[in-house]
Chains A and B, each alone.
Chain A
Amino acid sequence: MLELIDVSTYYGNIQALKGISLHVEAGEVVTLIGSNGAGKSTTLRTIQGLLRPRQGRILFEGRDLQTVPTEEIVRLGIAQSPEGRMIFPRMTVLENLEMGAFQRRDKPAVIKADMDQVFDRFPRLRERMTQKGGTLSGGEQQMLAIGRALMARPRLLLLDEPSMGLAPMLVSQIFSIIQEISAEGMTILLVEQNARMALTVANRGYVLQTGEIVLAGDAKDLQVNETVRKAYLGEE
């Protein structure tokens, strides 16, 4: 469904991605793990067109994305729940979700139905419907960010560090929601620092280190891989 071929992205003169290649097939959950500054969020931003690769190709269902504007990429079916959640703090929960559907040309009734689905998935959000996004707790904001991405009716969902800054209980709650969404057929590319959790929900994984993919494989194999265990799972 999505394929990155030898993609390099720069911030000014600093090369953040050094020719990475990866692919995501329909229905899969693929995780991208790695430490701080490895280039995980840069990869997602490059896929969505928020950053432009200096070389390499990004193919989504056979179509080149590297020159397609972001709004068109969103319309093609790639939505992101960005790092740090980035909800609109002074818009209500409802307005935040409406913004998620910004690129859709559907009738209001269809969008309303999707919103009800999001509210069914995250009942807490329904309770806080008219509250300002900035007043939600961290976990609720994460739910809002995921719900907002779902409102775009994506075929590929990009999740950037959904566990960041959350209490352990909330983390497992968020991950079970990710599993639920995946079980309904959504293709997910999940970026995580929390490698243990990420590898339990993912089918496959890539390990990113200073802008390069150093390991790739089935999530089960990565879980028992020596290097991964030492570097990312904190085991001796």
Chain B
Amino acid sequence: MQIILKALRANLVLGAVSAFTVLLFGGWSGGVMGWLLGTATGYLKTQDQFVPNPQVGARIGAVNGLALGIWTAIANLAYGLILRPLIGQSSVPLGQSLLYAIVSIVLATASATLMGAIQGLANPRHKQATWFTLAFILLIFPFVDQIAKTGWIATVIQIQIFAMLALGLNIPVGYAGLLDLGYAAFFAIGAYTTGMLSSPHLGIEWNFWIVIWIAAAVAAIAGIILGAPTLPLRGDYLAIVTLGFGEIVPIVFRNLTEIKIVEPISSLVATILNKPELAICLVGCDQPFNLTNGEAGINPIGRPSLPIIGTFSSTNYLPWYYLVLFLVLFSMFMINRLRNSRLGRAWTAIREDELAASAMGINRVNVKLLAFAMGATFSGFAGAFYGSYITAIFPSVFDFSVSVIILCMVILGGLGNMTGVLLGCIIIMAADRLYLPQLAQVLKGLLNTTILPNVANPALRDFLAISFDPIQMRLFLFGLVLVVMMIVRPEGLVPNERRKAELHSENSVANESLADVRSA
């Protein structure tokens, strides 16, 4: 009993996440959360202690999974019996609620036990098994989502698109220390390249599998073009130039609607002689050439197709899910290789001390340009996928706030740490696209059925009805989280060790200089 109580406390955060999810979504979401977070707790709780064999690991996992399951089960009952009537929906019968609760507990305990046991395996085996379990979860998630009727898969695809972006931005910002505030520009360039090359708009409809590589290459070149003028710049100045680039690109795409290019020398001659017919027109002669279709955007964009599946459809998420999953895993693999390469070490050195790095014989110019180019490449992939998934792109999708949100994912998770960046991405995207809209709906129901009828003052009632909307408070909540985060945990959720040292180094630096004084 004591152990369970302790575990309940230890799993407070994960339990709260799980319970909150159940309170918002109800139904089988508790089971899905039990499965996912149970695996998480089984892994986490066996990391800070020695696990000699699978039995011990399984025991630790079981206790923690049970605790998590209990939190979820309580939420299941509370949702079905209390919350549902309050938000104006029929309550879930007790039997049904109990079924949900029991399934949550069973799934949480089982998956935590399994994960705990895996951590008790011998050294190389436990890592392999952990990866295998993760891969398995990712592979069967769409089916679980379908069975449980949670309908999360569309959001999960969005999360993965942004995961690619966050991983890409992490290269210049996290690895090379080059603050980039205009990263959405590369996303836009990737998406627009795809749009132009595979849509009836320009009459070019190339295969997605070719276009995605072209999009990545074009984005990489754009990275070099942005990188070149920023080479002599550092810190704040660099950030402002990238900010400008991020603003320019969507505006350019918005305005490339009436292009007419006249050969300049003949045009000059024509002006001087006052004979306009002498000017040689190159592009858009009869009618101005419309490259990007302005605010209306490019629509429709071709979808990828595969031999057996055929063309990906907009109603079936499965092929999209596996495609983006593959792209994310591919990006992770490539970035990991880059990180541990010669180039990766050069990035770290440049970030640490540029002058010392060049004294070591690191080519500052190439290394910085490659950081921008490599970062942009992955946003090119993301842009190509995005364009083809949504089948339409508009310039307004790529504005400054997107750059900021991606940057926030990187910082929230922990600069320079891949796991952290992915976690930051999942948290921000899930909160923004999944939890907030659902929370708004639940609160609206609560307001209409329970609170408003009991408010006597009509002015107050109107005020509440209008202003109480979490969706409108989205940016406020977002800012609040960032402020709190920067104060409480500036190094991010899963910090990179170097960053951590940097941000908490006042003490060590002070001690060091003291030691120097003493030795002098």
A interface with B by C-beta (< 8 Å): 48, 50, 69-71, 73-75, 80, 82, 86-91, 95, 98-100, 102-103, 132, 134-135, 137-139, 148, 152, 165-167, 170
Residue on B nearest A72 in the bound complex, by CB: B361
**7 more CB-based (< 8 A) A-B contacts, given A134-B509, A166-B520:** A71-B361, A71-B363, A73-B361, A102-B345, A132-B501, A135-B512, A167-B519
Whether the pair B516, A86 counts as a contact (CB closer than 8 A) is: no
Contacting B356 at CB < 8 Å: which of A75, A82, A103, A170?
A82
Q: CA–CA, A102 to B498, complex, Å?
A: 20
Partner of A102, one of B353, B362, B512, B520: B362
- Give bound CA distance, A105 to B512, whole Å: 36
26 CB < 8 A contacts A-B: A50-B358, A50-B359, A75-B361, A82-B356, A82-B359, A87-B353, A88-B348, A88-B349, A88-B353, A88-B356, A88-B357, A90-B352, A91-B348, A91-B498, A102-B346, A102-B360, A103-B361, A134-B501, A134-B508, A134-B512, A137-B512, A137-B516, A138-B519, A139-B519, A152-B360, A170-B519
Partner of A165, one of B353, B356, B357, B516: B516
Residues of B with C-beta under 8 A to A74: 359-361
Q: Is the CB of A138 within 8 A of B349?
A: no
Q: Majority SS of interface residues in chain B? A: helix
For residue A24, give the distance in angstroms from its CB to the closest CB of chain B: 18
A98 to B349 Cα, complex, angstroms: 11
* Any A CB within 8 A of the CB of B515: yes
Given contacts A82-B356, A86-B353, A88-B356, contact A70 B519 (CB under 8 A): no
Interface residues as binary, B357-384 with A (CB distance below 8 Å gives 1, 0 otherwise): 1111111000000000000000000000
Q: How far is the CB of B472 from chain A (nearest CB, A)?
A: 42
Contacts of B520 in A (CB 8 A): 165-167
* B247-276 near A? 1/0 per residue, CB < 8 Å: 000000000000000000000000000000
A107 to chain B minimum Cβ distance, whole angstroms, is 14
Residues of the B chain whose Cβ atoms lie less than 8 Å from the Cβ of A139: 519
Report the contact-size class of chain B (Cβ under 8 Å from the partner).
Answer: 20 to 34
Chain B residues 324 to 371 lying within 8 A of chain A, measured CB to CB, are: 342, 345-346, 348-349, 352-353, 355-363
**B311 at interface by CB-CB < 8 Å:** no
B502 close to A (CB within 8 Å): yes
Please give me the residue from chain A that is nearest to B363 by CB atom. Answer: A71
* Cα–Cα, bound, A24→B345 (Å): 33
Question: Nearest residue in A to B342 (C-beta to C-beta)?
Answer: A102
Residue from B352, B355, B509 with most neighbouring chain A CB atoms (10 Å): B352
Contact A70-B359, Cβ < 8 Å, known A90-B498, A99-B349, A170-B519: yes
With both chains docked as a complex, state the minimum distance between the C-beta of A11 and any C-beta of chain B, in angstroms.
14
A89 near B519 (CB under 8 angstroms)?
no
Contact A99 B345 (CB under 8 A): yes
CB-defined contacts of B362 to chain A, threshold 8 Å? 71, 99, 102
Residue in A closest to B364 when the chains form the complex, CB atoms: A70
Note all chain A residues with C-beta closer than 8 A to B497.
Answer: 90
Inter-subunit contact A148/B360 (CB<8 Å): yes
Nearest 9 pairs of A and B residues by beta carbon: A74-B361, A103-B361, A86-B356, A90-B498, A88-B352, A71-B361, A167-B520, A167-B519, A138-B516
Identity of the chain A residue whose Cβ is nearest the Cβ of B362 in the assembled complex: A102
- The 0/1 profile, CB within 8 Å of A marked 1, for residues 494-520 of chain B is 000110011001001100100110011
Cβ contact within 8 Å between A90 and B349 = no
CB neighbours (8 Å) of B359 from chain A are 48, 50, 70, 74, 80, 82, 86
Give chain A nearest CB distance to B341 CB in angstroms. 12
Q: Determine which residue in B353, B515, B520 has the highest number of CB atoms from chain A within 10 A of its CB, and name it.
A: B353
Bound CA span A115–B451, Å: 73
Which residues of chain B come closer than 8 Å to A167, judged between CB atoms? 519-520
Q: Which residues of A contact B516 (CB under 8 A)?
A: 137-138, 165
Closest to A73 in B: B361
**What residue in chain B is nearest A76 (Cβ atoms)?**
B361
* Residues in B neighbouring A170, C-beta threshold 8 A: 519
In the docked arrangement, what's the CA distance between A70 and B362, Å? 8
- The smallest C-beta distance from B340 to any residue of chain A, in angstroms, reads 12
Nearest-neighbour CB distance to chain B for A130, whole angstroms, equals 12
Contacts of B353 in A (CB 8 A): 86-89
- Say which residue of B342, B349, B505, B519 sits within 8 Å of A137 (CB atoms): B519
B363 to chain A, nearest CB (A): 5
Interchain CB contact (< 8 A) of B355 among A69, A82, A100: A82
Are A137 and B361 also in contact (CB < 8 A) when A91-B352, A99-B349, A102-B345 are? no
Which positions 219-250 of chain B face chain A at CB distance < 8 Å? none
**Which chain B residues border A103 with CB–CB below 8 Å?**
360-361
Cα separation A135 to B501 with both chains bound (whole Å)? 10
Q: How far is the CA of A119 from the CA of B136 in the complex (A)?
A: 46
Distance (whole angstroms) from the CB of B513 to the closest CB of chain A:
9
Residues of chain B with a CB closer than 8 A to A89's CB? 352-353, 501
CA distance A36 to B505 in the complex (A): 30
Residues of chain B within 8 A (CB-CB) of A82 are: 355-356, 359
The answer on a CB contact under 8 Å between A135 and B508 is yes
Q: What residue of chain B has the Cβ atom nearest to residue A49's Cβ?
A: B358
CA distance A138 to B357 in the complex (A): 20
Q: Which A residues are in CB contact (< 8 Å) with B505?
A: 134
Of chain B, the residue at the smallest CB distance from A145 is B356
Residues of B with C-beta under 8 A to A152: 360-361
CA distance A148 to B498 in the complex (A): 20
Asked if A137 meets B352 with Cβ closer than 8 Å, knowing A70-B358, A70-B361, A74-B361, the reply is no
Q: Nearest residue in B to A98 (C-beta to C-beta)?
A: B345
Closest to A71 in B: B361
Q: What residues of chain B lie closer than 8 Å to A148, measured between beta carbons?
A: 360
Contact (Cβ within 8 A) B360 A99? yes
A residues less than 8 Å from B509 (CB atoms): 134
Q: How far is the CB of B174 from chain A (nearest CB, A)?
A: 13
B343 CB → nearest A CB, Å = 11
> Are B502 and A90 neighbours in the complex by a CB distance under 8 Å?
yes
CA distance A44 to B361 in the complex (A): 14
User: Chain A's nearest CB lies how many Å from the CB of B234?
Assistant: 16
B99-133 interface mask toward A, CB cutoff 8 Å, 1 = contact, 0 = none? 00000000000000000000000000000000000
Q: How far does the Cβ of A207 sit from chain B's closest Cβ, in whole Å? A: 25
Bound Cα distance A69, B512 (Å) = 36
Give the docked Cα–Cα distance between A170 and B515 (Å). 13
Closest Cβ neighbor of A170 among chain B residues: B519
**Bound complex: CA A229 to CA B235 (Å):** 45
Q: Which residue of B lies closest to A90 (CB)?
A: B498
Q: Which residues of B contact A138 (CB under 8 A)?
A: 516, 519
Min CB distance A111 to B, Å, is 12
Question: Does A102 contact B361, Cβ atoms closer than 8 Å?
Answer: yes
